[in-house]
Structure 1
Amino acid sequence: MSAKPDNPNYKVVAENRRARREYAIEDDLECGIMLEGSEVKSLREGGANIAESYASVENGELWLINSYIAPYKQAKTFGHDERRKRKLLVSRRELSRLWSETARKGMTLVPLVLYFNHRGIAKIKIGVAKGKKLADKRATEAKRDWNRQKQRLLKQQSR
């Protein structure tokens, strides 16, 4: 992230750790997200999950589907639906690029991280990704393990 970690407004609310394991992420994009008041307050308390969610372009708009934002206890009468579709805000050019990559190239739009930026506005980072096969996942793990082993060896030699 580009924001400084000491900024009081910057806060990561939810992270999709499985996304980097399940998908080969080729590009990412920061989007705004349309939320209700009770959803924002719930996010400030940290009650969200984007692990099972995905984004899709429908009727010329970008939507976040199946994301979970916990109900806000103080908003009894004016609460929100926890798993409703939430509209994502991107420019027309970005929207057309995302639509072409999902429709033509068979890519998937995966939410990577949901956070409040340095101005205190809720944002979500969407990754344009291609699904990994089992062999690809194993190769990634083997490469990561080898890099760890290599670092250990270099550390032992420098002593």
Structure 2
Amino acid sequence: MDHFAKLPEGCISEIVSFTSPADASALSVISKRFKSATESDTVWGKFLPSDIDEIISKSSTPFDFPHTKKELYMFLSHSHILLDGGKLGLFLDKRTGKKCFIVAASALDFTERNDSNRMYMAQELIRSRLFTYSLYVLLLLKIKFVLISQLLNRLFFNIG
């Protein structure tokens, strides 16, 4: 006997939204009712960062906006979007939904306050013959610590 059949779908969705994305996916195979409940925007909306609409509005990555919150979550956990003119990339951790940032090397400043010596060197890693791009990496020459606080201060973080 399916005891969950007596529960309203909204109730199941609310309960599942307090789990994790991995748990929601696993729970979707229990029954048709659970599958329907775990596909809801109520569930996946709780897994997305609360400021996701603001983040997407500032994205410089052209992409077709997913139709459901689950599709958006899946897109951001398997790919990334560019922010701040391509200096930052954002993706979501697949298991937790936490925001993860990729910082472009060109956005970092590796000089100490009273030191004008170069602390890094850009080295070309790949040059494409077919396309007009090259891939560079930064080689750190001497460095004690990296401060990226100015870059992070410009971002809009939510705790949690």
TM-score computed with the length of structure 1 as normaliser: 0.24
Greater CA radius of gyration, 1 or 2? 2
Higher fraction of strand: 1
Higher fraction of helix: 2
Q: Which has the higher contact order (CA 8 A, sep 6+)?
A: 1
